[in-house]
Structure 1
């Protein structure tokens, strides 16, 4: 039998290669595609350990592979990009001098999505104040129309602002943005008060200034063991806050506060805790970073430097919809102002500040109050000089 020549072997190979390619193309895959190979994420409910001190009613999810975790991390890309655009601002604000230059000023920081309905009342308030003792800053969500535009003492006081929404870190970011601009704008800013557009003053500027500057501490509500605290802590996932924020250190407090210059700088310098609180929530109903981040940060960093109470009065009695009571125009009169002034703030952990902030000893005055309906403006103006500004 004749041996095949090299030319004949080459021809045979050229004929077989297309057949092999065709066979591979039509053969079924022998290995199923998994999540780790780029398929859909497999979401496995986390079993709740029976030895936890509190039950977890949340359905949270655990990603079981490294690739899955990397895919899950993409969820936060937009939020991180939004925050990173502020990094230069925060870094510069974090380097300001801790000591304010004389005269010490109050920084009034309004966080709003609408024209300030009580601007006429605040105009009277600031007109009876020395101009060299205060500054005004406004964070105004750029998605809304502000008509009429900010005018009078509020003209030109809007800082570069970004969209905000509930159940997200954006309100906390806005407050950090306000603090940063106030720190950089005027070295004399000594106290930083965060206010709502529905806030009104309960006292004269002179009384407010003496109260805040006369205290060496921040006024921020710091509460532990609140109903629903565990659900709020676990809103991003059962262990998402660990190890930086263990549940035992998690605190809740009013969104509105007054902080010292030292604490203002501490807030804008923080990266470690903020990296946790800026994560998106899995359960919106328990997600209120603006009521958690500041209270937790200052409680962990400098509890003795805080009076654990807010000086902004609000009535939550009988409210279950996430919104406090709003005072209608018919309710607004001298008696209401005097009643709000007479209330005593709710203080947080008594042991955190020792005897100086003892619940039984302190009775700090409410300086502001919310919420008031826009229709109450005429009544408030009529009694401003004779009631509100008369201490």
Structure 2
């Protein structure tokens, strides 16, 4: 009985040892399996990342950061080669509002004058302008805003060849006129070398050669935007009190549509979201917005930068809603002598007899006699 009783503890011990051994083997197997899986994962990742340089070498990315492109800076400062972009007005004005915060340019920059032509269709006086621009290619750039329906063009020999920008319908005296002018400014601002911006019509002519005009504008301490307070029905009488508080009656100004502004003021115009909505909503004929929007806005924001006069001579002596138009019979040396001799203004705070650099309105029939007088009278 003792021997039979002694056998039971021995069997239990053996079973316990067997189970422990089995569990230990299972743990070792699991650890080994985990090690194999871990090594496999590490190996796969090592192979994957080691292949990246080879793949990159075989198939280089088509997207490169600008700082890795040796020509990127040159591309940034180069003016657009094609003016017919696909940006809408919102995108264009946003892009044109960019301005560097460091005044010194890290490249040799020759400041240019942007000549911006607001037209209905062709430029009948283009041959005269071709002569005016000839030989001064580094000092100017040209932009033409015609009606979308105008599909004509200019010969490759003309300075106006492929200088037309994307345009929209323009209605005289309405906000679409100012929108077209902002569109011209925005396109011109895309060329970082444009420093001064002149708005002209198809009936304008230059009264001096380009060298003289460039010197006059580049040396001026002011931009040339006509801006004055007219108390009568054609001035203050057009003001709408609903424009307050952005524009008060005392701030309301009137001026010529044809202006010259520097780059700072051009950017101020294209980025404006304060005054533009007010004028668009509350200035309709008989409030002619193109006579009030820019003079009022710029007088409020930067009065010290304005000469408060225009550079474009116009004859309003005949009365009416439109100035006098001059055709072939009017184009004589005496006619222009009267224009030059009748000038008196301030230039950089000093009296000057040179006040107008351009004149309008000239009919297509005036082209031939203008070409005949250009060399002797205008110097080009």
TM-score when scaled to structure 1? 0.69
Aligned to 2:55: none
Kindly indicate whether residue 158 of structure 2 is the aligned counterpart of residue 156 of structure 1: no
Q: State which of 362, 365, 377 in structure 1 corresponds to 2:367.
A: 377
Aligned to 2:94: 91
* Distance in 1 (alpha carbons) for counterparts of 2:117 and 2:192: 19
Aligned to 1:25: none
Aligned to 1:120: 127
Gap runs ≥5 in structure 2 = 1-86
Aligned to 1:305: 305
Aligned to 2:17: none
- TM-aligned CA distance change 1:345 to 1:254, over 3 Å: farther
Aligned to 1:365: 355
- My pick for the range that moved more, 110-119 or 337-346, is 337-346
* Distance in 2 (alpha carbons) for counterparts of 1:372 and 1:275: 34
* Distance in 1 (alpha carbons) for counterparts of 2:376 and 2:237: 46
Deviation at 1:362, TM superposition (A): 5.1
In the TM superposition, 1:1-391 aligns within 5 A as: 85-97=88-100, 99=103, 102-127=109-134, 129-146=135-152, 152-184=158-190, 186-228=191-233, 229-234=235-240, 239-279=241-281, 281=283, 284=285, 286-320=286-320, 322-344=321-343, 357=349, 361=351, 363-389=353-379
Deviation at 1:144, TM superposition (A): 3.8
Aligned to 1:17: none
Deviation at 1:365, TM superposition (A): 2.4
* Distance in 1 (alpha carbons) for counterparts of 2:345 and 2:318: 17
CA contact (8 A) 1:115 1:150 kept: no
Deviation at 1:218, TM superposition (A): 0.4
CA contact (8 A) 2:255 2:295 kept: yes
- TM-aligned CA distance change 1:363 to 1:246, over 3 Å: farther
Gap runs ≥5 in structure 1 = 1-83, 348-354
- Higher normalized helix content (fraction of residues): 2
- My pick for the range that moved more, 103-112 or 141-150, is 141-150
* Distance in 2 (alpha carbons) for counterparts of 1:250 and 1:182: 28
- TM-aligned CA distance change 1:157 to 1:356, over 3 Å: closer
Deviation at 1:345, TM superposition (A): 6.1
Q: Which has the larger radius of gyration?
A: 2
- My pick for the range that moved more, 272-281 or 288-297, is 272-281
Q: Which has the higher contact order (CA 8 A, sep 6+)?
A: 1
